Structure 1
Amino acid sequence: MKKIKPFIALAAFLIALTLIIPAVLVLPFSDEHKASGKLGENLAKSPGKVTDVTSTSKDPAVEVAVFRFSKSKIEKVQLEDYLVGVVAAEMPADFEEEALKAQALTARTYIVHRLMTKDTLGVPKGAQVNDTQNHQVYMNDDEQRKSWGKDYDWKKKKVLEAVRSTSGQILTYEGKPIDALFFSTSNGYTENSEDYWSGSIPYLRSVSSPWDKNSPKFNSQKVMTVREFEAKLGVKIGSSGTIGKIVERTTGKRVGKVNFNGKVFSGKEIRDKLDLKSSDFAWERKGNNIVITTKGFGHGVGMSQYGANGMAEEGSDYKEIVKHYYKGVEITPAENMLATITAQK
């Protein structure tokens, strides 16, 4: 019996060793997914708990009253939950992490700007913002689960990480929160604010955005009858092959003005009346139809979402992205402004 003890001790040691070694090997890689550029791909294979996020929020307990148009009711949510819902609705979760961070930063800046200025345009009494493109599109957690399905775990975690990585930060110009406008896809350039809306805003300047050419929304086409075209614009083309004359282009290389025999429309007016994807358009007559081709998707002012993702793919971080699209801005702690909003309630 005494001769067997060394064997038993050795066996016990080997068993213990087989249990310890895998744990030791796993530990150095346990946080890898949180910094990986393929976070979504990795988590999709092995989804973790949504709450397992390393960073914590610096955003205070500010409540946002969101008017839900489809339900005709006001939904009150915490700031962080609101921002997660905006990023989830406004940008694909499989975009690069730095692009999602840029989107989170613009979303926080937008709502802080709105709360600071007490802007209630477009919402009923008691609400501060609505959930449409007129403000920022928003999905609550139940809607995210329904939209993302089996991908919910990794997408939620990735979006939450983007929001928390930028928590407590907003974009300012001369010390004030900017109006952080953004859109889907440019035509290769963003637009000066005054070329689409009235008023020149110093940080909303036209910049190049070549990454957008890879967007699936870069080119689009729309066909309508001549009669429909005439009715929507209130013009007469008749049998002519000439369809107005472009007399002005914007800095962002979109249509500035079109002259229809003395009747002049801005590119924005034509985009709105014809429901086009962009104000960078061209058209030609084919029989009784007019074929309209457009480049880009959206108003073109501020940050391009597909441009932001293209910059991130090339290695730019979220700070470089936002400073490319918003000229002369600073990334500023929002603590004092958010505290002021809380104190006003």
Structure 2
Amino acid sequence: MSASLKRKSCSAIIFVSIFFISPIKAIAAKEPIMRVLISNENKARFRADRVENIFVHGISSNHRKIKSLNLVYKNNKVKYSINNNLNEWFELPNNFHLIIRNSDKRGIWFKNRRYAGELRVLLNDKKLNIINHVKLEKYLQSVVGSEMPKEFPLSALQAQAIAARTYALKLLDKNKLFDIHSTQASQVYLGLESETVKINRAVRSTNSLALFYKNELIDAVFHSSSGGRTENSGQVWKYQLPYLKSVIDYDQNSIKYRWKNKFTSAELGKIFSDLGGVNGIQIIDKSDTGRVLKIRLHGKNGNRIISGKKLRERLQLNSTKFEVDLKFNQINLDNKLNFDNKIIDDFPPQSLPPIPVNYFLFVEGYGAGHGVGMSQWGAKSMAERGSSFRQILKHYYSGVQIKTYY
């Protein structure tokens, strides 16, 4: 290249290239704005912090400086009141779009939390959608503190920041109204209350870094604890992704590494009322890592095969990595009730006697979450052993690259 620079013609070409490419890079480098759905209900209240005002666009021809705003959707109408004057209400058109912002670093109060950026309100499917428009890096300062304990080592928090950033970028502009939920349906976002100095440092020190596989953003899913080994994505969801492979986990110090639940026959009767209760359970299939894939329930009204995921939802279990047992006064009555805790062949189930009132279903399991991708407690353990955030991420996401996105 140095030889070519000696020629004026080549120099001109290089100059022109730089002139035209630079503006494109400048556009690509702009930090994205996340649209986070933080509420979807029939009423809402917003207020300023202390003596500050909030600015509301959409309730008059100009911005209005106010202390608080109440909204109610009822009888197909949206009404608002200002400054806690609940005796005077004004009606909004159904196509309204409110924008609430302020210049206070302490943010805008909504319910019992404060939010940075601006809050937008619109009516969708007969619900008030509250959507927080906030810069990505500011959003991440809350997500990292909402998803991972602030006491975790810095490199674990950095790994969480990069995984969360990648997850958010993957969803950017995929939907019309908002990009991401503020709950476990996406990743937890609790506003300004979740920020700490250490967490903010973790986000700033990894600014713009994201995870890629063959130059494409990955689905950077994560979970609390896998119970010793993470799961292949194809065992939990429809597709097996090359970077979401099962790997050994280091989560043995997790508070949910091993857990137990107990259910009475009366509780099972309510949970599985359609079956007339449960008087037998048979595990039909497990994944290679020990997670229940299919399970057969025996009830007074018949039998049913459901997924381990569905049973986890019904019983509100920490994970699908579990064993089941029926006991009475700590005496195992499996044989008496023809109860089977082992994986079985798919043969027609035999009828079982009803479970007496004083029988219990014990569930003993491992880990918390779906088990795919990065284990947060495993990341903590690796960090405590001296691993960097790059080593943590490349362990849990196979074959990925870590590089800047904007």
Fold shared by both chains (TM-score > 0.5): yes
Q: 1:101 aligns with which of 142, 149, 158?
A: 158
Residues 1:229 and 2:199 aligned together: no
Partner residue, 1:119: 174
Q: Distance in 2 between matches of 1:174 and 1:134?
A: 27
Q: Could you say if the C-alpha distance between residues 66 and 178 of structure 1 is closer, same or farther in structure 2, counting changes exceeding 3 Å?
A: same
3-state SS, counterpart of residue 318 of structure 2: coil
Residue identity in the other structure for 2:136: L
1:137 matched residue in structure 2: 188
Where 1:213 maps in the other structure, the secondary structure is: coil
2:376 pairs with one of 289, 301, 305? 305
Question: Of the candidates 245, 248, 258, which is equivalent to residue 295 of structure 2?
Answer: 258
- Give the one of 259, 272, 284 matched to 1:247: 284
> Which is worse superposed, 106-115 or 254-263?
254-263
Aligned Cα root-mean-square deviation (Å) = 2.1
Partner of 2:397: 326
> Equivalents in 1 of 2:386, 2:366: separation in Å?
26
TM-score (norm 2): 0.59
Cα deviations by residue, 1:177-220 (Å, 9 ceiling, x for unpaired): 011100111110111112111221111111110x2111112122
Superposed displacement of residue 93, structure 1: 0.9
The answer to whether the 8 Å contact 1:59/1:79 transfers is: no
In the TM superposition, what is the alpha-carbon distance from 1:282 to its structure 2 partner?
Answer: 1.6
Unaligned runs of 5+ in 2: 1-27, 41-109, 111-128, 328-357
> How far apart in 2 are the matches of 1:172 and 1:316?
20
Q: Does structure 2 retain, via aligned residues, the 8 Å contact 1:218–1:295?
A: yes
Mapped partners of 2:241, 2:225: distance in 1: 21
**Structure 2 CA distance, aligned partners of 1:194 and 1:128?**
25
- Select the residue among 56, 61, 85 that pairs with 2:31: 61
Q: Does 1:79 align with 2:136?
A: yes
User: Out of 123, 129, 147, which is 1:90 matched to?
Assistant: 147
TM-score w.r.t. length of structure 1:
0.69
Compare the two structures and name the one with the higher strand fraction. 2
User: 355, 359, 367: which one pairs with 1:296?
Assistant: 367
Residue identity opposite 1:176 in structure 2: E
Partner of 1:30: none
Between 1:273-282 and 1:92-101, the stretch displaced more is 273-282
Runs of 4+ in 1 over 6 A off after TM superposition: none
Structure with greater proportional helix content = 1
Question: Sequence identity of aligned pairs in percent?
Answer: 38
Is 2:180 aligned against 1:176?
Answer: no
Separation in 1, partners of 2:269, 2:248 = 34
CA distance in 1, matches of 2:373, 2:269: 32
Q: Which residue of 2 aligns with 1:314?
A: 385
**Secondary structure of the structure 1 residue equivalent to 2:256:** coil
Structure 1 residue 235: Cα displacement: 4.3
Report how many aligned residue pairs link the two structures.
257
Q: Secondary structure at the match of 1:212?
A: coil
Check the 8 A contact 2:268/2:277 in 1, yes or no.
no
- For 2:174, what is the secondary structure of its paired residue? coil
Give the match for residue 33 of structure 1.
none
CA positional deviation for 1:232: 3.2
Return the structure number with greater relative CO, CA threshold 8 A, min gap 6. 1
